Amino acid sequence: MLSAQDNELLTRVGPGTPMGELLRRYWTPALLISEVPTPDSDPVRVRLLGEDLVAFRDTNGRVGLIQENCPHRGASLYFGRNEECGLRCPYHGWKFDADGACVDMPSEPPNSVFKDKVTAKAYPTHESGGIVWTYMGPADKMTPFRDFGTESLEPDQVAATKLNTPCNWVQAMEGNLDTSHISWLHQWDGVDDIPDDGSDKPGYPSNAMSWKFWRHDRAPRLEIEDTWYGFKYVGIRDTPNGHKHVRMSAFCFPYNTVIASVPFSTGHGLFVPIDDHNTWRYSFSTRVNPGLQEVGGTNLFALSPFEFGPAEVGRNGIIPRRYTAENDYGIDRAEQRNVTYSGVREFISQDFMVTESMGPIYDRTQERLGTSDKAIIRMRRLLMAAAKSVAEGGEPPAVAPDLDYRSIRSAEKILEPGEDWRVLGTSDDPMVQKYDAGNSRVPVAGS
């Protein structure tokens, strides 16, 4: 439970709010590169942290991100003409470049110097991993761009998507950091019938067996370790054969999650606030994501009644939502009674159903937290403490240039007797070493 005051502190992101000012100290996804694909392509509306902006790729290929409303009399520059290295307002022809400078003011006399006094608010941009990132904080406090593994990707390895979820970013992120719900929300009855494929033993289970473990032990024990980037934690479950199965996920300031995967993962899910009531859920590929290829075993996707992954991705990289609150997320009550726990067929819509149904900003004075909510509690505390610290002149966490942001990994494994979960996903983990050896393009710091 949070006080009403803390709930406001945690969730509000507009300019001048403590959390909004904390988030503005990190490079933030503003849009997908595929939304502004070519020089002089169509401008795009961008609402980010409660600010209305417009993005455009200029004639030289630079991406500008400037205030949406024209500094003259406020017409939307979204309707502007993207031409000759600038965005020209449709109303009176004032033109702004990617830095927000007014470079032409044709409605004023030719000898006027007024244009030199007019600027549009503009934020710097950096393209990486299929995403246009921006920094919206004070210029003199600009932090370095953090390379989570996207900077050295080959063009054919770049993949980024985003999905809209109409609720506050914190409750959306809480859904991703909540390991206990996979024993419930994402279950179906046939899991019990999946035959043991032999991977219920120390080592890496098949994904199908993981699903069995989630269902077998539905009250995981959580252990957390604070790290330089935030924290990592495990949900510990007993397997049918009496082993300890752990799912380890990571939280990285301010809205990054790296979710457990067999054998480990470096893929991020980012919960980027559009405003207080709406969120973009971004994901991007990184240098290594071993995924299923390492483990084999029973093919979960052939057995499951769920629809996984996007059925389609728009040409601009945005995944359309087929199931929303308007159609009750496609819930089928007969299926809920007889086949699946949720009655919702599309996997990610199961998550959206629960996090969006809390309302635009959940009133956390009403909640009752248990031991399985430990990771969520830690995330909230870290974020609120960092927001307060920055408001008092402190530095935001996890922005230093000498940190290896590529080393943030999740993992999933059945532990050997005596094995410490804290080693999983680190450069001391033999599985990580094996992949890094085969991925010499990007050396791991310290190795």
Which residues of the shown chain bind Fe ion in the complex (CB under 5 A)? 351
Decide whether 104 or 328 has the Cβ nearer to ligand FES. 104
Q: Is the dihedral of CA 380, 29, 412, 351 positive or negative?
A: positive
Residue 112 CB, nearest distance to ligand FES (Å)? 14
365 within 8 A of 4, measured Cβ to Cβ: yes
3-state helix, strand, coil in the chain (%, to 5): 30, 25, 50
The listed partner (Fe ion, ligand FES, none) that binds 121, CB under 5 to 8 Å by sort, is: none
Phi, psi (rounded to 5 degrees) for 80: -75, 170
Polymer length of the chain? 447
Nearer to ligand FES, 68 or 178 (CB): 68
Alpha helices in 67-183 (DSSP H): 169-177
Among ligand FES, Fe ion, none, the one that 75 touches (CB under a kind-dependent 5 to 8 A) is: ligand FES
CA distance 404 to 426: 12
Tell whether residue 423 is a contact of ligand FES (CB under 6 A).
no
Q: Inter-axis angle of helices 169-177 and 4-11, to 10 degrees?
A: 90
Quote the CA–CA distance of 329 and 353 in Å, as a whole number.
6
Q: Which does 381 bind (CB under 5 to 8 A by kind): ligand FES, Fe ion, none?
A: none
Nearer to ligand FES, 77 or 376 (CB): 77
Q: How far, in Å, are 46, 63, 122, 180, 231 from residue 66 at the CA level?
A: 9, 10, 4, 42, 34
Out of 70, 160, 408, 415, the only residue in the binding site for ligand FES (CB under 6 A) is 70
Q: Which stretch binds ligand FES (CB under 6 A): 90-98, 341-349, 364-372, 377-385?
A: 90-98
73 near ligand FES (CB under 6 A): yes
Q: Identify which of residues 120 and 288 has a Cβ nearer to ligand FES in the complex.
A: 120
* Burial label, 403 (beta-carbon count in 10 A; 0-12, 13-18, 19+): middle
Q: Which does 351 bind (CB under 5 to 8 A by kind): ligand FES, Fe ion, none?
A: Fe ion
User: Which residue lies nearer to Fe ion by CB, 351 or 356?
Assistant: 351
User: Smallest distance from the beta carbon of 94 to ligand FES, in angstroms?
Assistant: 4
Measure the CA dihedral 433/435/436/438, to 10°.
120
What letters, b where the CB count within 10 A reaches 16 and e where it falls short, cover 413-433? bbbeeeeebeebbbeebebbe
Dist. CA 159–CA 126, nearest whole Å = 16
The residue from 26, 94, 271, 323 that contacts ligand FES (CB under 6 A) is 94
CA–centroid distance for 438 within its chain: 27
- Choose the binding region for ligand FES from 17-25, 47-55, 66-74, 408-416 (rule: CB under 6 A): 66-74
The amino acid that residue 131 corresponds to is I
89 binds ligand FES (CB under 6 A): yes
Binding of ligand FES by 75 (CB under 6 A): yes
| Among 47, 81, 92, 126, interactor with ligand FES by CB under 6 A | 92
Question: Alpha-carbon distance 214 to 235, whole Å?
Answer: 10
Residue range at the interface with ligand FES (CB under 6 A); choices 67-75, 162-170, 193-201, 256-264: 67-75
**Least Cβ distance, residue 175 to Fe ion (angstroms):** 6
Which listed residue (45, 62, 72, 115) binds ligand FES by CB under 6 A? 72
Q: Which 3-state string (H, E, C) describes 139-156? A: HHHCCCCCCCCCCCCCHH
Q: What's the closest the beta carbon of residue 69 comes to ligand FES, in angstroms?
A: 8
What residue number has its CB nearest to Fe ion?
351
Residues 375, 177 contacting (CB under 8 angstroms): yes
Name residue 392's amino acid: E
Per CB under 6 A, does 91 bind ligand FES? yes
The residue range among 69-77, 268-276, 302-310, 350-358 that interacts with ligand FES, by the rule CB under 6 A, is 69-77
Among ligand FES, Fe ion, none, residue 91 binds (CB under 5-8 Å by kind): ligand FES
By CB under 6 A, residue 81 contacts ligand FES: no
112 binds ligand FES (CB under 6 A): no
Residues that bind ligand FES (CB under 6 A): 70, 72-75, 89, 91-92, 94
